[in-house]
Structure 1
């Protein structure tokens, strides 16, 4: 319950302290194929990569502000479609304001591969870290930690 409250506070701060950055949508740095490369659990030492992960997954981020998410688990493939927007949130660092870029994926329909903290939410939030990796926020509410790199 405590983690759910924390994620709600984080999401509320994202909406209250962010600015939409429409000019980022056309930024080639973010568009393209992002592949899941690491999955972590809540227990120490529960880190998996490559074929050891429970599933394989990609996001295709298109310049027209649409995306395709594909998950392959065994013989099953699930595809989800939707749109996305970018926001930047300012965090106070030790000596300056650090900006974190978030991407909000809005799915067209309910789907089993939506990694969200909200019950029956059609929205996922991921952010770009300083190592140019795309990181899921799902682990804030007991989901797995998911890390993607651009291919």
Structure 2
């Protein structure tokens, strides 16, 4: 009887250790912070109107990418109506209450900042190691989805 209880107790300990390890792995950011440069291309846009399908590729209102560099700097470039606009700033990975984000701080005011406030910060939710999602759709901006291409 003692061996049976000891065996059951050992199994419980093993499973509880496995769960702790699994939950701590899930809390880690999927974002690769040791691989640069990283190019994130806008691949899909959605609007706030129900029933309107997302646009992709050449059907999007603009083409855009972020280039993240190992020194914590970024470049954001948008091509719209045959005009290319490029802006710069710095970035870092931050943990917020609902997940892991890239916090981008622009060097100056510009029309490419996608946020719900009047400051120079922009947030991209790290959805996976290959997908970022802009947060400005929370304030009626377009849903913007980026995939890592480099």
Please state which band the TM-score falls in when normalised by the shorter chain: 0.7 to 0.9
- Residue 127 of structure 1, CA deviation: 1.0
Q: Could you tell me whether the CA contact under 8 Å between 1:25 and 1:63 is conserved in 2?
A: no
TM-score after normalising by structure 1: 0.72
- Which SS does the other structure have where 1:72 is aligned? strand
Size of the aligned set, in residue pairs, is 119
Does residue 1:129 correspond to 2:127, yes or no? yes
- Relative to total residues, which structure has the larger helix share, 1 or 2? 2
User: Over residues 37-60 of structure 1, what are the superposed CA-to-partner deviations in whole Å (9 max), with x where a residue is unaligned?
Assistant: 000000122410000000000000
Partner in structure 1 of residue 40 of structure 2: 34
Partner in structure 1 of residue 66 of structure 2: 59
- Residue 88 of structure 1, CA deviation: 1.9
Unpaired stretches in structure 2, ≥5 consecutive residues: 1-30
Bigger-Rg structure (1/2): 2
Partner in structure 1 of residue 87 of structure 2: 80
- Which SS does the other structure have where 1:71 is aligned? strand
**Which runs of structure 1 show a deviation greater than 3 angstroms over 4 or more consecutive aligned residues?**
none
TM-score after normalising by structure 2: 0.73
Partner in structure 1 of residue 116 of structure 2: 117
Distance 2:96 2:100 in 1: 7
Cα RMSD, aligned residues only: 2.1
User: Over residues 93-144 of structure 1, what are the superposed CA-to-partner deviations in whole Å (9 max), with x where a residue is unaligned?
Assistant: xxxxxxx22011000011111111102x211011111473010000000100
Distance 1:25 1:80 in 2: 23
